[in-house]
Amino acid sequence: MALYSEKVMDHFRNPRNVGIIEDADGIGEVGNAKCGDIMKFYIKVQDGIVSDIKFETFGCGSAIASASMATELIKGQPVEKVLELTNRAVVEALDGLPTHKIHCSVLAEEVIKAALKDYYDKNGIEYDPALFPDEHDCEHCEI
């Protein structure tokens, strides 16, 4: 059995939505040098819908694939639905990740929330602070 699914390899080799949005409505960055993976997401929101999303990732193939898949899952979705995206949904959409790489999908979930929090803050939109993690704790990361 292969270590990585065909979907993981496809998103690693051909990542979707890579780049920067200069006039982004929200920007999120998460990661830790201890993990070795850092993700940065840029979002545009129009009429409550994530109309565009781009990412930059410094990390392994699983991190790139997780970021790429996450952007595909949320592009065109209402902000409220985007908040519901979990790392489990990213893993399932990729047809799985090795256990020691699950932290990459956790980073994808966290960076989306960080970008949405930035969007809310910039626009004075009230939110429940419990929805947004303060920082990545590397609990699931290899050291």
Catalytic residues: 35, 104
How deeply is 133 buried, as exposed, middle or buried, from its count of CB atoms within 10 A (0-12, 13-18, 19+)? Answer: middle
Identify the helix (H) or strand (E) that includes residue 51.
strand 49-58
C-alpha 91/C-alpha 79 separation (Å) is 21
Residues contacting 94, CB < 8 A, separation 6+: 5, 7, 8, 11, 65, 66, 69, 105
